[in-house]
C-alpha cells in the first residue's frame, strides 16, 4: 500500500496491515492431477504451460548491491521467495472506471520500469470491466480464456474497495499457486488504485511522477516485495517523496526476476 503524501506530517497508521492482502485469500494449492483436471469444463485451473518458453524471456540487470529490500514471505518456508515464472509474459489489464485523466500512460510507464528492473516481460491486454475483489479468482476462463487471469490494475475508490479508505492511495498483491512437487509461483495479481486520491496527487504540488510512483510501489508488492524501513526506498511502508526505483528496490526486483520456470502450472 501507499499512503497519500498528505500524510507526510501526520502519523502513519496501520502501514503493515494490508501487506499481502490478496496473498492469503487467493492462495490456491493445486493437488489434483492437472491433465485430468484441466480437461474438465469446471476446471479450477488452466491447461499447463500456456505460453511457457524453454528459457526466461528476459534477464534482470545486474543490480547494485543493496540489502534495502524485503521479499514477501512464501507460504512454504523452505522456499526463499515466490516469484512470477520468468519463462512467460505477465499479462495485465486496466479497469479504467474512475481513472484520472491521461493516467493510462502512467500505468504503462510504471510497468516498463519494474519490467526493466526485474527482466520480467509484461503484455498489455487492454481494458477490462472486471471489478477488483478481495477474493478474486486466479482463473476466469469466461472472461479471459483458458489461461491464468491477467494482473488486474483497477482504478477504484473507497466506496468500492473499502481498504482504500482514509489516506491509502493503493493496494497490491498476487495469487500464489503450487503444483504438487513444484515451488509456489505467482500467477496473477491485483492493484486497487484510489482514483479520487490519485486525481488530487496528479496535480500541483505533487504531479504525475508521484502517481506513477504509487503504481510502481504496488507493482512491487505484486511481484513479491514487502515494505522496508528505509524511507529512501520506493518500497518504504510510510509516506515519502521517492518517485523512482532505488538501489534496494532494484536489488529486490532483480531477485524476483530470477525465479524458477514452472511449466507444470
The residue with its CB nearest to Zn ion is 1
Cβ distance to Zn ion smaller for residue 136 or 227: 227
* 179-218 residues near Zn ion, rule: CB under 5 A: none
Other Cβ atoms less than 10 A from the Cβ of 25: the count is 13
For Zn ion, which stretch binds (CB under 5 A), given 1-9, 49-57, 89-97, 99-107? 1-9
Cβ distance to Zn ion smaller for residue 10 or 146: 10
Cβ distance to Zn ion smaller for residue 1 or 107: 1
CB of 217 to Zn ion, least distance (A): 6
CB of 59 to Zn ion, least distance (A): 26
Q: What is the DSSP string of the chain?
A: -EE-GGGGGS---STTTTTTHHHHHT-EEE-S-HHHHTTSTT-SSPPTTTT--SS-S-----PPP-----BPPPSSTTSS--EE-TTS-EEEEEE-TTPPTT-HHHHHHHHHHHHHHH---EEEEEE--PPP-TT--S--HHHH-SSPPPEEEEEE-TTTSGGG-TTEEEEEEEEEEEETTS--EEEEEEEEEEHHHHHHHTSTTT-HHHHHHHHHHHHHHHHTB--BS-TTSTTBSS-----S--HHHHHHHHHHTT----TT-
Distance CA 263, CA 131 (A): 29
Cβ distance to Zn ion smaller for residue 1 or 245: 1
CB of 227 to Zn ion, least distance (A): 5
Q: Is 251 in the site for Zn ion (CB under 5 A)?
A: no
CB of 235 to Zn ion, least distance (A): 7
Cβ distance to Zn ion smaller for residue 16 or 112: 16
CB of 51 to Zn ion, least distance (A): 29
Cβ distance to Zn ion smaller for residue 14 or 40: 14
CB of 7 to Zn ion, least distance (A): 13
CB of 177 to Zn ion, least distance (A): 22
With CB under 5 A as the rule, give the number of residues binding Zn ion. Answer: 1
> Residue 79: which of 177, 173, 219, 4 has the closest Cα?
177
C-alpha cell read off for 107: 500505468
Cα 159 off chain centre by: 22
Q: Is 1 in the site for Zn ion (CB under 5 A)?
A: yes
Cβ distance to Zn ion smaller for residue 86 or 132: 132
Q: Which residues bind Zn ion (CB under 5 A)?
A: 1
Amino acid at each position: 500500500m501507499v499512503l497519500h503524501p498528505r500524510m507526510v506530517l501526520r502519523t502513519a497508521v496501520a502501514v503493515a496491515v494490508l501487506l499481502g492482502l490478496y496473498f492469503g485469500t487467493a492462495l490456491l494449492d493445486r493437488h489434483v492431477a492437472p491433465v485430468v483436471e484441466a480437461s474438465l469444463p469446471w476446471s479450477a485451473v488452466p491447461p499447463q504451460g500456456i505460453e511457457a518458453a524453454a528459457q526466461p524471456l528476459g534477464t534482470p540487470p545486474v543490480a547494485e548491491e543493496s540489502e534495502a529490500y524485503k521479499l514477501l514471505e512464501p507460504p512454504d518456508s523452505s522456499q526463499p521467495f515466490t516469484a512470477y515464472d520468468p519463462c512467460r509474459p505477465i499479462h495485465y489489464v486496466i479497469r479504467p472506471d474512475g481513472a484520472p485523466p491521461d493516467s493510462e500512460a502512467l500505468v504503462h510507464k510504471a510497468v516498463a520500469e519494474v519490467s526493466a528492473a526485474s527482466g520480467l516481460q509484461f503484455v498489455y491486454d487492454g481494458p477490462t470491466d472486471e471489478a477488483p475483489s478481495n477474493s478474486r479468482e486466479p482463473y476466469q476462463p469466461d472472461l479471459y480464456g483458458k489461461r491464468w487471469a491477467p494482473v488486474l490494475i483497477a482504478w477504484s475508490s473507497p466506496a468500492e474497495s473499502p481498504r482504500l479508505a482514509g489516506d491509502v492511495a493503493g493496494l497490491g498483491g498476487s495469487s500464489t499457486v503450487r503444483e504438487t512437487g513444484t515451488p509456489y509461483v505467482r500467477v496473477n495479481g491485483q492493484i486497487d488504485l484510489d482514483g479520487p486520491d490519485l486525481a488530487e496527487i496528479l496535480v500541483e504540488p505533487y504531479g504525475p511522477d508521484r502517481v506513477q510512483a504509487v503504481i510502481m510501489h504496488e507493482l512491487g508488492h505484486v511481484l513479491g516485495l514487502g515494505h522496508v524501513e528505509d524511507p529512501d526506498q520506493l518500497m518504504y511502508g510510510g509516506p515519502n517523496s521517492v518517485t523512482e526505483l532505488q538501489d534496494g528496490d532494484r536489488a529486490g526486483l532483480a531477485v524476483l526476476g530470477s525465479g524458477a520456470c514452472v511449466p507444470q502450472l
